[in-house]
Amino acid sequence: MNFVHIADMHFDVPFTSLNQRNLGNLRRLDQREAFQKIIEYIKQNEIEYLFICGDLYEHEYVKLSTIEFINNQFKQIPDTKIFIVPGNHDPLIPNSYYAKYKWNSNVTIFTSEMTKITEENIDIYGYGFDNFYMKNSKINQIKIENPNKINILLTHGSVDGTADELREYNPMNISTLKTLGFNYIALGHIHKTNFEEGKNIIYPGSTISLGFDELGKHGMVVGSIDENKNLQTAFVAVDKKEFVEVNIDMEGILSSEELIELINKESWEENYYYKLNLIGKRSFEINSLEILKYINSQNILKIKDKTTLPYDLEKIAKEESLRGIFVKNLLEKMNEENKDQIIKTIEIGLEAM
Protein backbone atom coordinates (compact mmCIF):
# COMPACT_ATOMS: atom_id res chain seq x y z
CA MET A 1 0.00 0.00 0.00
CA ASN A 2 1.10 3.59 -0.56
CA PHE A 3 0.03 6.84 1.05
CA VAL A 4 0.44 10.59 1.37
CA HIS A 5 0.43 12.09 4.85
CA ILE A 6 -0.26 15.80 5.48
CA ALA A 7 -1.36 17.90 8.44
CA ASP A 8 -1.87 21.46 9.62
CA MET A 9 -2.88 23.09 6.35
CA HIS A 10 -4.95 25.68 8.26
CA PHE A 11 -7.03 26.82 5.29
CA ASP A 12 -8.29 30.43 5.73
CA VAL A 13 -5.92 31.22 8.61
CA PRO A 14 -5.71 35.05 8.86
CA PHE A 15 -1.87 35.22 8.50
CA THR A 16 -1.88 38.23 10.84
CA SER A 17 1.92 38.19 11.09
CA LEU A 18 2.14 38.89 7.34
CA ASN A 19 -0.32 41.78 7.22
CA GLN A 20 2.51 44.29 7.48
CA ARG A 21 3.29 43.61 3.84
CA ASN A 22 -0.33 42.70 2.94
CA LEU A 23 0.66 39.15 2.04
CA GLY A 24 -2.16 37.29 3.80
CA ASN A 25 -4.21 36.86 0.64
CA LEU A 26 -1.15 35.73 -1.32
CA ARG A 27 -0.35 33.05 1.25
CA ARG A 28 -3.95 31.82 1.14
CA LEU A 29 -3.50 31.41 -2.62
CA ASP A 30 -0.25 29.57 -1.89
CA GLN A 31 -2.21 27.19 0.34
CA ARG A 32 -4.53 26.35 -2.54
CA GLU A 33 -1.64 25.88 -4.94
CA ALA A 34 0.15 23.56 -2.51
CA PHE A 35 -3.01 21.50 -2.01
CA GLN A 36 -3.49 21.20 -5.77
CA LYS A 37 0.12 19.98 -6.06
CA ILE A 38 -0.63 17.26 -3.51
CA ILE A 39 -3.75 16.15 -5.36
CA GLU A 40 -1.86 16.13 -8.67
CA TYR A 41 0.93 14.05 -7.09
CA ILE A 42 -1.67 11.58 -5.85
CA LYS A 43 -3.21 11.31 -9.32
CA GLN A 44 0.11 10.92 -11.12
CA ASN A 45 1.42 8.31 -8.69
CA GLU A 46 -1.85 6.41 -8.13
CA ILE A 47 -1.70 6.87 -4.36
CA GLU A 48 -4.17 4.66 -2.53
CA TYR A 49 -4.53 6.59 0.73
CA LEU A 50 -4.45 10.23 1.78
CA PHE A 51 -4.04 10.80 5.54
CA ILE A 52 -4.96 14.29 6.81
CA CYS A 53 -4.04 14.57 10.48
CA GLY A 54 -5.90 17.59 11.76
CA ASP A 55 -6.20 21.36 11.32
CA LEU A 56 -7.15 21.09 7.67
CA TYR A 57 -8.99 24.39 8.07
CA GLU A 58 -9.58 27.13 10.64
CA HIS A 59 -13.05 26.59 12.14
CA GLU A 60 -13.39 30.22 13.18
CA TYR A 61 -12.50 31.69 9.77
CA VAL A 62 -13.10 29.11 7.05
CA LYS A 63 -15.54 30.01 4.27
CA LEU A 64 -17.97 27.66 2.58
CA SER A 65 -16.24 28.42 -0.72
CA THR A 66 -12.99 27.05 0.73
CA ILE A 67 -14.72 23.85 1.87
CA GLU A 68 -16.14 23.51 -1.65
CA PHE A 69 -12.64 23.95 -3.08
CA ILE A 70 -11.24 21.23 -0.79
CA ASN A 71 -14.05 18.81 -1.59
CA ASN A 72 -13.74 19.46 -5.33
CA GLN A 73 -10.08 18.52 -5.06
CA PHE A 74 -11.09 15.30 -3.31
CA LYS A 75 -13.44 14.53 -6.20
CA GLN A 76 -10.47 14.54 -8.57
CA ILE A 77 -8.99 11.48 -6.82
CA PRO A 78 -12.04 9.19 -6.54
CA ASP A 79 -9.90 6.04 -6.28
CA THR A 80 -7.93 7.40 -3.31
CA LYS A 81 -9.34 6.75 0.13
CA ILE A 82 -9.12 9.91 2.23
CA PHE A 83 -9.00 9.71 6.03
CA ILE A 84 -9.27 12.86 8.16
CA VAL A 85 -8.79 13.22 11.91
CA PRO A 86 -10.11 16.59 13.17
CA GLY A 87 -7.63 18.67 15.18
CA ASN A 88 -7.87 21.44 17.76
CA HIS A 89 -8.39 24.13 15.07
CA ASP A 90 -11.01 22.11 13.13
CA PRO A 91 -12.73 19.93 15.75
CA LEU A 92 -15.74 17.79 14.92
CA ILE A 93 -18.36 19.88 16.73
CA PRO A 94 -22.08 20.19 15.79
CA ASN A 95 -21.71 23.35 13.68
CA SER A 96 -18.48 22.30 11.97
CA TYR A 97 -18.25 21.52 8.29
CA TYR A 98 -17.18 18.01 9.23
CA ALA A 99 -20.64 17.56 10.78
CA LYS A 100 -22.93 19.55 8.47
CA TYR A 101 -21.29 19.35 5.03
CA LYS A 102 -21.76 16.45 2.60
CA TRP A 103 -18.25 15.33 1.77
CA ASN A 104 -17.32 13.24 -1.25
CA SER A 105 -17.85 9.49 -0.94
CA ASN A 106 -14.11 8.72 -0.71
CA VAL A 107 -13.77 10.76 2.52
CA THR A 108 -13.86 9.25 6.02
CA ILE A 109 -13.83 11.60 9.02
CA PHE A 110 -12.83 10.09 12.35
CA THR A 111 -14.49 11.10 15.62
CA SER A 112 -13.29 11.34 19.22
CA GLU A 113 -14.20 7.68 19.65
CA MET A 114 -11.31 5.41 18.73
CA THR A 115 -12.44 3.94 15.41
CA LYS A 116 -11.00 1.23 13.20
CA ILE A 117 -11.56 1.07 9.44
CA THR A 118 -10.92 -2.41 8.08
CA GLU A 119 -9.39 -2.91 4.64
CA GLU A 120 -8.36 -6.21 3.07
CA ASN A 121 -4.79 -6.22 4.39
CA ILE A 122 -4.83 -3.02 6.44
CA ASP A 123 -6.50 -1.73 9.58
CA ILE A 124 -6.59 2.07 9.95
CA TYR A 125 -7.28 3.49 13.41
CA GLY A 126 -8.25 7.12 13.91
CA TYR A 127 -8.82 9.42 16.85
CA GLY A 128 -9.79 13.09 16.45
CA PHE A 129 -10.86 16.17 18.41
CA ASP A 130 -14.49 16.87 19.33
CA ASN A 131 -13.60 20.21 20.94
CA PHE A 132 -10.87 22.83 20.80
CA TYR A 133 -9.11 21.07 23.67
CA MET A 134 -8.63 17.40 24.44
CA LYS A 135 -7.06 16.97 27.84
CA ASN A 136 -7.48 13.22 28.21
CA SER A 137 -6.00 11.04 25.49
CA LYS A 138 -7.33 7.55 24.77
CA ILE A 139 -4.26 6.57 22.78
CA ASN A 140 -2.85 4.34 25.53
CA GLN A 141 -6.11 2.33 25.48
CA ILE A 142 -5.63 1.12 21.91
CA LYS A 143 -5.25 -2.60 21.36
CA ILE A 144 -4.38 -3.72 17.83
CA GLU A 145 -6.92 -6.39 16.91
CA ASN A 146 -5.02 -8.12 14.13
CA PRO A 147 -1.21 -7.83 14.39
CA ASN A 148 -0.79 -9.84 11.18
CA LYS A 149 -2.22 -6.99 9.10
CA ILE A 150 -0.63 -3.63 8.35
CA ASN A 151 -1.80 -1.35 11.16
CA ILE A 152 -1.84 2.43 10.89
CA LEU A 153 -2.85 5.07 13.45
CA LEU A 154 -3.96 8.63 12.62
CA THR A 155 -4.25 11.26 15.32
CA HIS A 156 -3.58 14.90 16.18
CA GLY A 157 -1.88 16.01 19.36
CA SER A 158 1.18 16.72 21.43
CA VAL A 159 3.92 14.12 21.81
CA ASP A 160 6.30 14.83 24.70
CA GLY A 161 5.20 18.47 24.58
CA THR A 162 5.43 21.34 27.01
CA ALA A 163 3.39 21.45 30.22
CA ASP A 164 0.49 23.32 28.61
CA GLU A 165 0.39 21.00 25.59
CA LEU A 166 0.51 17.95 27.82
CA ARG A 167 -2.62 19.15 29.55
CA GLU A 168 -4.67 20.44 26.64
CA TYR A 169 -3.95 18.85 23.24
CA ASN A 170 -4.36 15.07 23.23
CA PRO A 171 -1.19 14.45 25.27
CA MET A 172 0.92 11.46 24.26
CA ASN A 173 4.43 10.28 24.91
CA ILE A 174 6.77 8.64 22.46
CA SER A 175 7.48 5.61 24.66
CA THR A 176 3.77 4.69 24.75
CA LEU A 177 3.38 5.13 21.00
CA LYS A 178 6.35 2.84 20.33
CA THR A 179 4.80 0.04 22.38
CA LEU A 180 1.45 0.08 20.55
CA GLY A 181 2.74 -1.96 17.61
CA PHE A 182 1.64 0.22 14.68
CA ASN A 183 3.54 0.03 11.42
CA TYR A 184 3.01 3.75 10.86
CA ILE A 185 1.68 6.50 13.13
CA ALA A 186 0.54 9.61 11.23
CA LEU A 187 0.50 12.68 13.46
CA GLY A 188 -0.49 16.32 13.23
CA HIS A 189 -0.32 19.41 15.46
CA ILE A 190 3.42 20.22 15.53
CA HIS A 191 4.28 22.51 12.62
CA LYS A 192 7.91 21.43 12.32
CA THR A 193 8.47 18.04 10.69
CA ASN A 194 10.35 15.34 12.59
CA PHE A 195 10.79 13.33 9.39
CA GLU A 196 13.68 10.91 9.19
CA GLU A 197 14.02 7.91 6.89
CA GLY A 198 13.15 4.76 8.76
CA LYS A 199 11.10 6.57 11.41
CA ASN A 200 7.48 5.40 11.65
CA ILE A 201 6.04 8.00 14.07
CA ILE A 202 5.93 11.16 11.98
CA TYR A 203 4.81 14.75 12.07
CA PRO A 204 4.88 16.05 8.48
CA GLY A 205 4.77 19.64 9.80
CA SER A 206 2.51 22.36 8.47
CA THR A 207 1.92 21.92 4.74
CA ILE A 208 2.95 25.50 4.06
CA SER A 209 4.84 27.73 6.45
CA LEU A 210 2.64 30.07 8.45
CA GLY A 211 5.44 32.47 9.44
CA PHE A 212 8.96 32.97 10.76
CA ASP A 213 8.44 30.52 13.60
CA GLU A 214 8.20 27.82 10.90
CA LEU A 215 11.50 28.07 9.03
CA GLY A 216 12.68 25.57 6.43
CA LYS A 217 10.89 23.54 3.77
CA HIS A 218 7.27 22.47 4.18
CA GLY A 219 5.23 19.82 2.42
CA MET A 220 4.07 16.21 2.72
CA VAL A 221 5.33 12.77 3.63
CA VAL A 222 4.88 10.04 1.02
CA GLY A 223 5.28 6.41 1.96
CA SER A 224 4.67 2.78 1.19
CA ILE A 225 4.43 -0.42 3.21
CA ASP A 226 4.90 -3.76 1.47
CA GLU A 227 3.44 -7.14 2.34
CA ASN A 228 6.42 -7.82 4.61
CA LYS A 229 5.64 -4.58 6.49
CA ASN A 230 8.75 -2.82 5.21
CA LEU A 231 8.20 0.93 5.43
CA GLN A 232 9.68 3.43 2.99
CA THR A 233 9.10 7.17 3.36
CA ALA A 234 10.21 10.43 1.78
CA PHE A 235 9.56 14.10 2.40
CA VAL A 236 8.34 16.13 -0.58
CA ALA A 237 8.28 19.94 -0.38
CA VAL A 238 5.17 21.59 -1.82
CA ASP A 239 5.41 25.15 -0.46
CA LYS A 240 6.89 27.38 -3.17
CA LYS A 241 8.07 29.89 -0.56
CA GLU A 242 10.46 29.43 2.34
CA PHE A 243 10.81 31.64 5.40
CA VAL A 244 14.41 32.44 6.30
CA GLU A 245 16.27 34.71 8.72
CA VAL A 246 19.38 36.71 7.80
CA ASN A 247 21.66 38.52 10.25
CA ILE A 248 23.09 41.95 9.41
CA ASP A 249 25.99 43.13 11.57
CA MET A 250 25.58 46.83 12.30
CA GLU A 251 29.30 47.36 12.99
CA GLY A 252 30.40 50.35 10.91
CA ILE A 253 26.90 51.29 9.69
CA LEU A 254 26.42 54.88 10.81
CA SER A 255 22.88 55.83 9.73
CA SER A 256 19.46 54.56 8.63
CA GLU A 257 20.20 55.77 5.11
CA GLU A 258 23.38 53.69 4.99
CA LEU A 259 21.49 50.61 6.23
CA ILE A 260 18.71 51.06 3.67
CA GLU A 261 21.25 51.43 0.84
CA LEU A 262 23.05 48.26 1.99
CA ILE A 263 19.83 46.22 2.06
CA ASN A 264 18.62 47.53 -1.32
CA LYS A 265 21.92 46.65 -3.01
CA GLU A 266 21.62 42.98 -2.02
CA SER A 267 20.09 40.35 -4.32
CA TRP A 268 17.17 38.72 -2.51
CA GLU A 269 15.85 35.34 -3.70
CA GLU A 270 12.33 35.43 -5.15
CA ASN A 271 11.25 32.20 -3.45
CA TYR A 272 12.25 33.30 0.06
CA TYR A 273 10.48 35.47 2.60
CA TYR A 274 13.07 37.24 4.73
CA LYS A 275 13.35 38.42 8.30
CA LEU A 276 16.42 40.60 8.78
CA ASN A 277 17.97 40.53 12.25
CA LEU A 278 20.10 43.58 13.00
CA ILE A 279 22.88 42.48 15.36
CA GLY A 280 25.99 43.92 16.98
CA LYS A 281 26.47 47.40 18.45
CA ARG A 282 24.47 50.18 16.85
CA SER A 283 25.64 53.73 16.19
CA PHE A 284 22.20 55.33 15.83
CA GLU A 285 18.61 54.92 16.94
CA ILE A 286 16.84 52.27 14.83
CA ASN A 287 13.17 52.45 13.80
CA SER A 288 12.58 49.07 12.12
CA LEU A 289 9.10 49.87 10.81
CA GLU A 290 10.25 53.14 9.29
CA ILE A 291 13.25 51.50 7.61
CA LEU A 292 11.04 48.75 6.18
CA LYS A 293 9.04 51.37 4.25
CA TYR A 294 12.07 52.16 2.10
CA ILE A 295 13.13 48.58 1.32
CA ASN A 296 12.65 47.72 -2.35
CA SER A 297 12.21 43.95 -2.01
CA GLN A 298 8.67 42.93 -1.12
CA ASN A 299 10.09 39.61 0.10
CA ILE A 300 11.66 41.30 3.11
CA LEU A 301 8.78 41.10 5.57
CA LYS A 302 10.35 42.00 8.89
CA ILE A 303 13.32 43.83 10.34
CA LYS A 304 14.13 42.93 13.94
CA ASP A 305 16.40 45.13 16.00
CA LYS A 306 18.62 42.84 18.10
CA THR A 307 21.46 45.32 18.44
CA THR A 308 23.04 46.50 21.66
CA LEU A 309 23.92 50.01 22.82
CA PRO A 310 27.44 51.23 22.04
CA TYR A 311 27.85 52.04 25.74
CA ASP A 312 29.05 50.24 28.86
CA LEU A 313 26.07 51.13 31.04
CA GLU A 314 27.49 49.63 34.24
CA LYS A 315 30.65 51.71 33.80
CA ILE A 316 28.70 54.90 33.04
CA ALA A 317 26.48 54.35 36.11
CA LYS A 318 29.59 54.62 38.31
CA GLU A 319 30.55 58.01 36.91
CA GLU A 320 30.19 61.05 39.17
CA SER A 321 28.42 63.00 36.44
CA LEU A 322 24.95 63.91 35.24
CA ARG A 323 24.89 61.03 32.77
CA GLY A 324 26.17 58.68 35.48
CA ILE A 325 23.30 59.64 37.81
CA PHE A 326 20.81 59.40 34.91
CA VAL A 327 21.90 55.89 33.91
CA LYS A 328 22.18 54.63 37.50
CA ASN A 329 18.64 55.75 38.40
CA LEU A 330 17.12 54.12 35.33
CA LEU A 331 19.04 50.85 35.75
CA GLU A 332 17.76 50.60 39.33
CA LYS A 333 14.19 50.79 38.00
CA MET A 334 14.73 48.20 35.23
CA ASN A 335 13.08 44.78 35.33
CA GLU A 336 12.20 42.12 32.74
CA GLU A 337 8.88 43.76 31.89
CA ASN A 338 10.21 47.27 31.25
CA LYS A 339 13.73 46.39 30.09
CA ASP A 340 13.26 47.41 26.45
CA GLN A 341 11.59 50.69 27.40
CA ILE A 342 14.31 51.57 29.94
CA ILE A 343 17.13 50.77 27.48
CA LYS A 344 15.46 52.91 24.81
CA THR A 345 15.07 55.78 27.32
CA ILE A 346 18.75 55.52 28.28
CA GLU A 347 19.78 55.53 24.62
CA ILE A 348 17.74 58.65 23.79
CA GLY A 349 18.97 60.40 26.95
CA LEU A 350 22.64 59.65 26.33
CA GLU A 351 22.42 60.76 22.70
CA ALA A 352 20.77 64.01 23.83
CA MET A 353 23.56 64.60 26.33
pLDDT in tens, 175-190: 999 999 999 999 999 9
Question: 246 and 233, same structural domain?
Answer: no
For the chain, the farthest-separated pair of C-alpha atoms sits apart, in whole angstroms, at 86
Which residues touch 263 (CB under 8 Å, ≥6 apart)? 248, 276, 295, 297, 300
If you average pLDDT over residues 198-209, what whole number do you get? 96
Around Cβ 138, how many Cβ atoms within 10 Å? 13
- The terminus-to-terminus CA distance of the chain in angstroms comes to 74
Confidence of residue 316 (pLDDT cuts 50, 70, 90): confident
Q: Say if residue 251 is in the same domain as residue 181.
A: no
Average pLDDT over residues 79-87: 98
Structural domain of 133? 2-237
Indicate whether 228 and 259 sit together in one domain. no
pLDDT of residue 165: 63
Q: Is 111 helix (H, G, I), strand (E, B) or coil?
A: coil
Question: Is residue 55 located within the same domain as residue 136?
Answer: yes
Q: Which of 55-69, 161-175, 265-279, 292-306 has the lowest mean pLDDT?
A: 161-175
Last residue of a domain, one of 218, 237, 256: 237
Question: Are 267 and 337 members of one domain?
Answer: yes
Q: Do 209 and 257 share a domain, yes or no?
A: no
- Report pLDDT for 229: 96
Same structural domain, 75 and 199? yes
Q: Determine the average pLDDT of the residues in 259-265.
A: 97
Query: Which one, of 83, 167, 161, 159, lies nearest residue 128 by Cα?
Result: 83
Range of weakest confidence among 48-52, 58-62, 100-104, 212-216 = 212-216
Q: Which of 112, 58, 54, 62 is nearest to 83 (CA)?
A: 54
